[in-house]
Structure 1
Amino acid sequence: MIGREIRMVYTFFLYTHVLSAIISIGPLFALLLILRKMEGAEEPQLWGFVQLFQSTITIIKHAGHVLVISGIILISLSGWTWTTSWVLLTVLVMVGSIIFLARAFKPTIRTFGTTNFNKETFIKKLRKATWLYILLLLIMLWFMVAKPQIW
């Protein structure tokens, strides 16, 4: 009976993990659409797009928290160890993506409405950061799905 209960708990956290991964990655593609809309918007209209962009980043960030917590629980419940190559590499890329996320979007968004604001530079930086963050998340997703045994 205990084995069945552990499998049910594991399955629950696995689905939670997958759902939070979807919520962490999916909205990033919506950000690209928001950026396209920003290109054609006049400066007074940009404020709404900037708020939407920030709200989307907040959703991604909180989904990432659920992703990390459910991942820790899944590793604890499984036979994988923290020194397994794909687990360790996922953690390293995750730490890098957390540092990147903190430095990529917030400083750029803070320039909005200041004398340092330049619409074209602003959009270019946000677009580049969005694509780089997508790449980092896809690398982590590959590690988690393919589980390559590098060592």
Structure 2
Amino acid sequence: MYSWLVFIHAVSAMVSIGPFFVLIPMLGKLRTAEDAVLSSYLDSFHFVVRLSKHSGHVLVFSGLLLLWLGGWPWNTPWIAGTFVVLFASLFFMARAFSPTIRKLRQPDHDRNKLVRKLTRSLYIYMFVLFVMLWLMMMKPALW
């Protein structure tokens, strides 16, 4: 069962991170898209954020089960570090994407400013996800 949990954990990590790469080429197209196409791009962004959020639930739950079944102590540096970064990313994700996507759907908006904000948020969030991935894979002795 433990090996299946590791597999589920790894797949949920891939599903949490992978779809964000699809959004990178879309960022440039958001600046010039017509309203009908803009809506479909924003739907794609919204879908990726929701997919990442829900696969993150599976990721955290499977990670907690792996901790429990594997006998890892909570004060292990890479585990504690991952949880610190995880909680910070939850607050960031809640404020980074959905409000900006909502503003882009409104008729009167500064598209360039909002797309820059969305771009910055995307790259910051991907960096945070990679930090968590690094902590889980490399298991560094931080202290």
TM superposition score normalised by structure 2:
0.94
The equivalent of 1:18 in structure 2 is 10
The equivalent of 2:86 in structure 1 is 94
SS of the residue 1:81 aligns to: coil
Q: Distance in 2 between matches of 1:142 and 1:54?
A: 26
- Choose which of 34, 37, 45 in structure 1 pairs with 2:29: 37
Amino acid at match of 1:34: M
Q: How far is the alpha carbon of 1:113 from its aligned partner?
A: 3.2
Max Rg structure: 1
Deviation per residue, 1:110-140 (Å, 9 max, x gap): 2123355111112111110000000000000
Structure 1 unmatched ranges of 5 or more: 1-8
Q: How far is the alpha carbon of 1:141 from its aligned partner?
A: 0.5
Task: Say whether 1:138 aligns with 2:130.
Answer: yes
Amino acid at match of 1:69: F
After superposing on structure 2, the runs of 4+ consecutive aligned residues of structure 1 that deviate more than 4 Å are none
Task: Say whether 1:83 aligns with 2:75.
Answer: yes
SS of the residue 1:28 aligns to: helix
Deviation per residue, 1:60-99 (Å, 9 max, x gap): 1111111000000001111311111100000000000011
Task: Say whether 1:52 aligns with 2:17.
Answer: no
- Choose which of 49, 56, 60 in structure 2 pairs with 1:64: 56
Query: How many residue pairs get matched?
Result: 143
Moved more, 42-51 or 54-63: 42-51
Task: Say whether 1:128 aligns with 2:135.
Answer: no
Structure 2 unmatched ranges of 5 or more: none
Q: Distance in 1 between matches of 2:8 and 2:29?
A: 32
Q: How far is the alpha carbon of 1:28 from its aligned partner?
A: 0.8
Amino acid at match of 1:43: D
